Amino acid sequence: MPQVDLRVQAAINERMPSLRYLKEVLPPCTNLDPREHEVVVEYGQTKWANVGLAVCECRGPVENRCANHGKVLDRQISEDQRLDLLAVLKELKPPPYRRPSYWADLVLWHALLEDKLAASASSCDVVALVYVQDNMEPLCLIGKGTRRGGVVHYTLWQDVIMSTLEEWRNPVSHTAPLRFVRWHPGLDHWVHTHEDDIIKLAPSECTLYHEVGVTDMPRLPYWQARVRAGRSKAGLLKRERTPEVVMPRKKAKRAGYRDVADISDDETRKYVEILD
């Protein structure tokens, strides 16, 4: 048997249910002389198609294993967890077990599962608070999110939201495309965002944005507290891994970004990071 790819093993073990939970659904041995059954987690060394699945192993002689040997158990990681696992595995470099064909399989499986979950997912309303002008309270815009397990997938770039935001722009002084930054409550500062961003929210969480160039944001600490309140209901106050790449301050300055200093009060200013 090939040596296990430790990266694959670690990614699977992080998501796998407890052994006791899996043992409860082990099928019985069908041989006349029943043998013990064990749970085996597939890491892809022998049967790549089962990577990330828990299967039954009959402990009988190789030539006399029962019909349930190799059967995929009824209990597995959830489909949302499997989608996340496939996303992690397909980003590994070099690919799992250094086989490009495995990477191609992961891309295909991820796309198929993503389409399946998207087709069955329910939608929900998500509130976006957006500062679009200096010295003006944020607009409260209702968009749609998609429920995926215990989280909601959301993007600001929805037709109904973008059309509303365009109406607030002065066509003479605002000729550039719409650009926004989002306040990230887990990181406690602003992060750059773009139209391909899909963020994960708690079901009760709202979002807070401001258009690039807006610096005077009334009652900013109040609205930040409102975002935190929705996040805390889901136990998401701790700093978390996030797909956004936040540019360090020195690197941002070298790239031509500037500090936003013209904020109305010190309490607000401490939340502000490098913005264009």
pTM equals 0.52
The stretch 245-256 carries a mean pLDDT of 41
Q: What residues does each domain of the chain span?
A: 6-119, 123-275
Q: How far apart are CA 99 and CA 105, in angstroms?
A: 10
Model confidence at 86, in pLDDT bands (50, 70, 90)? very high
> To which residue do tokens 């495309």 refer?
177
Q: What pLDDT is attached to residue 195?
A: 81
Let me know how many helices (H) and strands (E) the chain has, helices first: 8, 11
- Supply φ then ψ for residue 207, to 5 degrees: -125, 155
Long-range contacts of 94-97 (CB under 8 A, 24+ apart): 96/5, 96/7, 96/8, 96/44, 96/51, 97/2, 97/5, 97/8, 97/44, 97/45
pLDDT single digits (tens) 39-84? 999 999 888 999 999 999 999 888 889 999 999 999 999 888 899 8
SS3 233: coil
- Name every residue whose Cβ is closer than 8 Å to that of residue 273 and which is 6 or more positions away in sequence: 189, 190, 191, 246, 249
Give the Cβ contact number of residue 116 at 10 Å: 12
* Model confidence at 234: pLDDT above 60: no
Strand 189-192 and strand 139-148: pairing?
unpaired
pLDDT single digits (tens) 95-104? 999 999 999 9
Mean pLDDT of the chain: 80
Q: How far apart are CA 175 and CA 136, in angstroms?
A: 21
Segment (H or E) for 40? strand 37-41
Percent of the chain with pLDDT over 70: 80
Alpha-carbon distances of 58 from 32, 67, 88, 122, 183, rounded to whole Å: 13, 9, 31, 40, 53
